Amino acid sequence: MSDRRHWENLAEVGSMAAMRFMATLHRVAGPRVARLLLYPIAAYFHLTHPRAADSTVDYLNTLRAWTGGVAPSQPPRRIDGLHHNYEFAVNLYDRMVAWGGGFGSYEFHHSGSELLMRFAEEGRGGILLGAHLGSFDMPRILAGEHGVVMNVLMFTDQAERVTAFFERLDPSSSLRVLRLDPGSAQTGFAIKACLDRGEFVGILGDRVPPGSKEQVETVDFLGRPARFPLSPYLLACTLGCPLLTSMCVRTGDGRYSAAVRVLTEGEVIPRKVRRERAVELLGAYVATLEDYCRKWPLQWFNFYFYWASVDGATDEHD
**Tens of pLDDT along 236-294?**
999 999 999 999 999 998 899 989 999 999 999 999 999 999 999 999 999 999 999 99
Q: Provide the pLDDT for residue 104.
A: 75
Domain boundaries, the chain: 1-105, 106-299
Produce one character per residue of 210-240: b if its CB has 16 or more CB atoms within 10 Å, e if not: eebebeebeeebbeeebbbbbbbbbbbbebe
Q: Provide the pLDDT for residue 314.
A: 39
Q: Report the predicted TM-score, pTM, of the whole model to 2 decimal places.
A: 0.88
Which portions of the chain are predicted below pLDDT 50?
A: 1, 13, 313-318
Whether residue 96 contacts residue 16, with contact meaning beta carbons closer than 8 Å, is answered with: no
Q: Classify strands 150-154 and 200-204 as parallel, antiparallel or unpaired.
A: parallel
Distance in angstroms (rounded) separating the CA atoms of residues 314 and 286 = 25
Q: Provide the pLDDT for residue 240.
A: 95
Distance in angstroms (rounded) separating the CA atoms of residues 157 and 210 = 12
